[in-house]
Structure 1
Amino acid sequence: MQQRKKNIALLIFLVIVWGINWPLSKIALAYAPPLLFAGIRTVIAGVILIVAALPKRKALHFSKLWPVYLTSAFLSIVFYYGFQTIGLQYMPSGLFSAIVFLQPVLLGIFAWIWLGERMYGMKMFGLLLGFLGVAALSIGGFTGSISALGVGLALASALSWALATVYTKRNAVRVDMLWMTAMQIMIGGVILLAAGSAVESWSDITWNSAFIVNTLFISVFVIALGWMVYFKLINEGEASKVGSFTFLIPLISIGSSVVLLNERITLNLVVGMLLIVSSIILVNVKIGRAARRLTS
């Protein structure tokens, strides 16, 4: 019971910080090119996590596990953030985010195929409702221009995130989770920073308080602590159940955007919220012999 309460608290933290990440990132992007911004915030998070992991330096085993760290870095950081950053230039952000949050549906399917997690009709229906809820929240995106390249990059972003989660859980017994998180973020951040330095200009960054504060908040809470909490929960519980709660992130994002960016609350928000809550209940409730608990 104590562990379950702890996991619920971690989930609440994760959903909140990953939700407010979207408007905070939008504010910060007004002062910096996208790839450099992505690289800066990720490298800062990587440094923080490496410092935190140093007392367990013997568990790094870099010469043996570097292929795992590198693969995870590309899936979780380079591809996920890279496709996301580039794709947003080609289509409305609402539609793009709706496609990206197809990830929990993909994760539920991949976890069933590769992790041996249960899949039953009610669970699949719940995952579908969650995606429909995200789509309802982001329906305004459909009124803008739609690019085939943008759709492809959004799907690639969702796919890389789902594959990264399954890959991490499959390798959880081989690696120390803190070092796994630190290495993938640091390696991915360096690659993003190098790419940004090659195609963008550092002189385009405006180092004002809004950019610095938002970047530091995202680096510490959204990336460093956020990814560490996410993979801890994935490692301890069913990936598809933890993934289902990420459907709440667009809801938090819209709510925080109303406060920070003066965006309007619409009927889509109410409909999306009801679908998302229904999704989480269906994915996590005990149906027949399906396990209700979050952790194993």
Structure 2
Amino acid sequence: MNNNLKGYAAWISVCIVWGTTYLAIRIGVAHIPPMLFAGIRWIIAGIIFVSALKFIKKLPPIKDLKHIAVMGLLMLGFGNGLVVTGEQYISSGLAALLITTVPFWIVGFDSLALKKSDLNKYIVSGLLLGLVGVSAIFGDNWRDLFNKEYLIGVLSILGAVIAWSVGSVYSKHKRINAHPLMSAAVQMLVAGLAQTLLGILLGEMSQVHFNQEGIYSLAYLIVFGSILGYGSYIYAIEHLPLSLVSTYAYINPIIAVFLGWLVLNEKLNLYMIIAAVLIIAGVMLVKKGSETSIVKKMSGTQQST
């Protein structure tokens, strides 16, 4: 399997696996305070990842550790940390809705980094269509934005979206001499240590209540959300256009809604099915737009030579 096919497989994994993590986070933070919950998750996942990879991959060069640390702190430290914080105050549905703005931020920051825009009619149409689809799924949650008690949660999720997007663009354009999976493992350790230290400083140790639900949710996030999910994400952005990879944020809520229907008997009606179709159509448009942009670049390069 070539790198491009592996990249698509990694992207599909992110689309599916991360859609299941909202529920696990919501359960976990009810028993373990946010920074320690996130920190323990990433430290354990990082140790497992590094231990498994060191036999087949080299540790990153010293000169690249600074850049890897920046990626880890942005995407996992602030990005994931603020999601965990936000889900203490708002529903997982509203969190998922806000996180669907990731593609807009990533495409915008990517254009700023390149000092030019690769947007075309397909990408713009796809992003807008996807947002309409997600809005249809979580339409009732919009009114939560006007409740004062949700303000901290909403601001936390928006901060997470921005940090994640900046980290993704930084990761895409800052080339390092390390295997993407080993880079992901080191990022987990950096973020986990920072979050755990912050949790201790905030006095979260006295609030920890380990029980079966908390431990199960933590274990699930370590294995699937961290090792499989984040490893796949890092690999995907190494080999695929960011505008395409970022569309995982449209698919994750579909998974969340399906799980709610399957596990918690939440409603699944015709409007949600239509919304799912709109989201998938949006993803296909962004994919077409990304491919069109690449073809134009290649044509321009050939003409210039």
TM over 0.5: yes
Q: Report the equivalent of 1:108.
A: 107
Superposed CA RMSD: 2.6
Question: How far did residue 100 of structure 1 move?
Answer: 1.9
Separation of aligned partners in 1, 2:184 and 2:100:
21
1:268 Cα deviation from its structure 2 partner: 4.7
User: Do 2:57 and 2:179's aligned partners in 1 also have CA atoms closer than 8 Å?
Assistant: no
The 1-side partners of 2:152 and 2:39 are apart by: 23
| Matches for 1:61-80 after TM superposition, within 5 Å | 61-62=61-62, 64-80=63-79
Q: Does 1:35 align with 2:32?
A: no
Counterpart of 1:257 in structure 2 is 260
Alpha-carbon offset, residue 224 of structure 1: 1.6
Aligned length: 291
Task: Describe the superposition over 1:175-215 as per-residue Cα deviations: whole angstroms up to 9, x where unpaired.
Answer: 33223211111110111112222324445434333332321
Equivalent position of 1:11 in the other structure: 11
Q: Which amino acid aligns with 1:75?
A: L
Identity of aligned residues (%): 27
CA–CA separation in structure 1 for the residues paired with 2:235 and 2:291: 28
Task: Report 1:90-105 matches (<5 A).
Answer: 90-105=89-104
Q: How does 1:43-54 map to 2 (within 5 A)?
A: 43-54=43-54
Superposition deviation, residue 90 in structure 1? 4.3
Assess if the C-alpha contact under 8 Å between 1:35 and 1:196 holds in 2.
Answer: yes
| Maintained 8 Å contact 1:36/1:200 | no
Which among 179, 185, 189 is matched to residue 188 of structure 2? 185
Shift of 1:256: 1.2
TM-score normalised by L of structure 1: 0.86
Specify which of 170, 175, 179 is matched with residue 173 of structure 2.
170
Matches within 5 A, 1:107-126: 107-115=106-114, 118-126=118-126
Q: 1: CA distance between counterparts of 2:291 and 2:9?
A: 27
Question: How far apart are residue 149 of structure 1 and its match?
Answer: 4.3
User: Are the counterparts in 2 of residues 101 and 247 from structure 1 also a CA contact under 8 Å?
Assistant: yes
Residues 239-261 of structure 1, C-alpha deviations (whole Å, 9 max, x = no match): 11111233101110111122233
Q: How do 1:116-155 and structure 2 match up within 5 A?
A: 118-144=118-144, 145-146=147-148, 147-155=150-158
Give ranges in structure 1 of 5+ residues lacking alignment. Answer: none
Give the CA deviation at 1:148.
4.5
C-alpha separation in 2, matches of 1:288 and 1:156: 30
Q: TM-score, normalised by structure 2?
A: 0.84
Q: Which runs of 5+ in 2 are unaligned?
A: 296-305
Deviations along 1:147-192, whole A, 9 cap, x unmatched?
4444333221111111111111112344332232111111101111
